[in-house]
Chains A and B, each alone.
Chain A
C-alpha cells in the first residue's frame, strides 16, 4: 500500500508519463540540435543590428525593363538604355536596394558587323559597415542551386524555393555575384562598397558634384586639380576624360553609362573613363556600364590610382582597364566584366613600367583576362620596353574564350619582370565560340592585325607563383613559344600551379607546349 502512495494515475498515468517524458526529451534534442546554429545566427543578428547601410535610390526616370527588354538582341533590335530591373529584387537587411538592368554579352564569338546579340543582367550597389544580410528574390526563377562568387568567402546561401529567394550574409566590402542553377545568365552583380569617408569639400570650386538622378552630360573634361564627384543614385549618360592634366580625381558611387551612344563600329569610341597624358590621377568607387567600346583607358600617364571601380562592357572592343605606355599605376579592389580583354597593358608610345593589378575580380566573356600586348611598340620607339608588371590576388570568376594569362609580344619590345601571384580561376571554360583552348599563352609573335614593327622582341623573367584553377575544361593546355634564335623567351618560373585539385609539378603534367626558342622554363 505504501508504494501506491507515491503513484499517480496507475498504469495509465505511467504510460502518459512515459509519453510526456519521451516527447519532452525529443523536444530538447531537436531544439538542442539547433542551438549551435541559433547561437551563430544570434551572433550574426547582433552584428546585423549594429551594421550601417547606405542605399541609393535609382533615377525615377529610368523605365522598367520588360520581358522584351531582356531578350537576346543586337543594338539594332532593341534599345540599349539602362533600365530599372523589376524581375529581381535585392534586400539588404530587409531594405530594398535599387536594381538596374544593364547589357551583358553572353556570346563568345567575334562579330564582324560589330553587332553581337546581347542580353541584360541585374546589378545593384550599396555601402555598408559591419555584417549585412542580403536577400535576392527572383519570382520567375525556380531556384535549385545557387553559387555566390567569389568562392573564397565560402558563402552557403539559404534557398527558399517557395519564396524564390536566396539569403546570405557578408561582412567584407567587395563585389558579389549570385548565379542561379549553374547558369551565368541573369547573374546578379552586387557591388557592396565600404562606406565613403573623407568626402571632398563640395563647396570648393575645384569640386564638380553630380547628384542623384539621370543626367545627359555628353563630355566632362577635367582640368588641373579638379575632382569630379558622381553621387550614388546618379546615372550620367556621357564620358569623363582628362588630357594633359595633373591631380584630377573621379569619385563617388554613381554610374557612368554609355547606353545612349551607338556602338562605335570602329569609328567613334566614347570612352567612359579616359585619362591620357595625365600626372597623378585617381578614379575611385564609380561604376561604368554599357560603353560603346572600351572602358577605362590611360595613355602616356604617370602616377595613377584606380580603386573600387566596377566595369561591365558588352559591345565590341570592350576592353576593361587598358593601360598604354603608363608608369606607376595601381589598380586595386576592382570588378571587371568585359566583352574583350579585361586587364590590359600595352606600349603605344613610351615605355611602360610599374603597373600593379591587386585584388581584382575579372569575368571575361570574350578574349583574355590578363593580357600584355599584342601591341608592345605601336609607337615604333627605340629600345621599347614593358617592365615591372604585377598581377596579384586576381580572381577570375569566368574565362570563356581565350587564355586567362597571356603575354603576346607582337612588336620588338623587351617585355621583362612580369609577375603573377595568387591567381584563382573559378571557372576556366576557355575556348568557347571562336576562342582558343589555352589557359596560359606566352609568346613572341608576328601578328597581321597588331604588329607595328618589322623586328621581333624578347620576353624575360616571368614568375607565376600561386595559380589555381578550381573548375574548368577537361583539358587546359598552355604554351610558351619564342620566335627565333635571337628572339626568345628566357626565364619563366612557375610555382604552386594547381589545376582542378591536381598540383602540377612538371610541364607535361601541366599540358605545356614549350618550343626550342625558349630558355630556363621551370615549374615546381
Chain B
C-alpha cells in the first residue's frame, strides 16, 4: 500500500464519516421549541358540571285567584300555521307541540268562547316553558264580548315579554268585567311569523 493509497483511504474515511454523520444528524427527530407550544389545560372535574353562566334561578309563578274558566271553553282563531290549531290554546298544557300559532305574516286573532258569562279579573298567557322557546315579545290587545260579535277592548295593545327564565308566561290583571267571549289580537311576535299561545287562561271567582 503506497502513501497515495493511504491518502485516498484517509480522504474516503473522512468523507464517509462526514456523510454518515450528516445523515445521522439530519435524521434526528425535530423538537419544537417549547415557547411555540401552548397547552390549554382542563379544570379538575369528576363529572359533567352545570355552568354558572347558564344556570337559571328558580322561578315561582304567581298564584292566581279563582278558576281558569277558559279551560272548559272553546277556542277559535282566524287561522293557524302548520299543525298548531286554536284548540291547543286551552287544552290544559303549553308543553311540547300543544300550542296555537296564528296565520303567518298577518294579525293573529284568538277567541275563547267561555260557554257562559263570567266576571273575569285576570288573563294568563303562556307559551312552552322550555328554554328552547327563547325570549320573545308579543304585541297584543284584549277585548271581550257577550255575543261573540261586538267586542270591547279592555286592554290596549302593548308589548308583552315571554321569557323562559320566568316561565314563558304573562299575567295581565284587569278590572273585573262580565264576559262570555275573550279575544286576543296579536299584531307582532319577535319569535315567530305570527302570534303563539300555548295556554290562554281566563280567571274568574264565580266558580
Q: Give me the interface of A with B, judged by CB distance under 8 Å.
A: 6-9, 13-14, 16-17, 20-21, 23-25, 27-28, 30-32, 34-35, 38-39, 41-42, 44-46, 48-61, 93-95, 132-133, 208-223, 231-233, 235, 237, 239, 241-245, 260, 277
Contacts and interface: CB of A to CB of B under 8 A. Distances in A.
Interface string B78-122: 000000000000000000000000000000000000000000000
Interface in B40-56: 40-51, 53-54
Contacts of A41: 26-27
B38 A53 contact: yes
A159 B130 CA distance: 52
Given A13-B1, A16-B1, A39-B26, A24 B130 contact: no
Contacts of B49: 213-216
B57 interface: no
Contacts of B132: 219, 221, 239, 241
Nearest to A241: B132
B39 to A, nearest CB: 5
A221 B47 contact: no
A243 B48 contact: no
Nearest to B17: A27
A20 B9 contact: yes
Contacts of B8: 21
Interface string B179-196: 000000000001111000
B3 A6 contact: yes
Nearest to A12: B1
Contact of B134 (A31, A209, A221): A221
Nearest to B131: A219
A217 B51 contact: yes
B192 A244 contact: yes
Contact of B42 (A45, A49, A60): A60
- Give the interface centre of A20, A58, A233, A242 by most chain B CB atoms within 10 Å: A20
A49 B34 CA distance: 9
A8 B30 contact: no
A318 to B, nearest CB: 20
Contacts of A133: 29-30
B19 interface: yes
B23 A35 contact: yes
B20 interface: yes
Given A31-B20, A221-B131, A212 B2 contact: no
A192 B198 CA distance: 46
Contacts of B46: 60-61
Contact of A55 (B22, B26, B38): B38
A57 B19 contact: no
Main secondary structure of the interface of A (DSSP, over half): mixed
A17 B1 CA distance: 6
Contacts of B54: 217, 220
A214 B45 CA distance: 8
17 contacts: A6-B3, A8-B2, A8-B6, A20-B13, A23-B16, A34-B27, A35-B22, A38-B26, A45-B30, A53-B36, A56-B39, A57-B42, A60-B42, A61-B46, A213-B43, A213-B49, A244-B190
B16 A60 contact: no
B31 interface: yes
B30 A44 contact: yes
Contacts, number: 187
Nearest to B39: A55
A215 B50 contact: yes
B37 interface: yes
Contacts of A95: 32, 37, 39
B13 A24 contact: yes
A52 B35 CA distance: 8
Given A7-B2, A216-B48, 14 more contacts: A13-B1, A24-B15, A24-B16, A31-B20, A39-B26, A53-B32, A56-B39, A60-B46, A215-B48, A215-B51, A221-B134, A233-B42, A243-B134, A244-B192
B136 interface: yes
B31 A211 contact: no
Contact of A27 (B2, B19, B135): B19
B150 interface: no
B9 A17 contact: yes
A301 B27 CA distance: 54
A25 B2 contact: no
A231 B40 contact: yes
Contacts of B27: 34, 38, 41
Contacts of A30: 20
Nearest to B55: A217
Contacts of B45: 59-61, 213-214
A25 B11 CA distance: 10
Contacts of A213: 42-43, 45, 49
Interface in B136-165: 136, 164
A103 B41 CA distance: 25
B187 to A, nearest CB: 16
A324 to B, nearest CB: 14
A58 B191 CA distance: 36
Nearest to A268: B96
A235 B27 CA distance: 39
B191 A243 contact: yes
Contacts of B15: 24, 28
Nearest 3 pairs of A and B residues by beta carbon: A31-B19, A24-B12, A45-B30
A212 B42 contact: yes
B23 A38 contact: yes
A208 B53 contact: yes
B142 to A, nearest CB: 24
A74 B23 CA distance: 53
B42 A223 contact: no
Contacts of A23: 16
B134 A223 contact: yes
Contacts of B53: 208-210
A56 B43 CA distance: 12
Nearest to B21: A31
Contacts of B164: 221
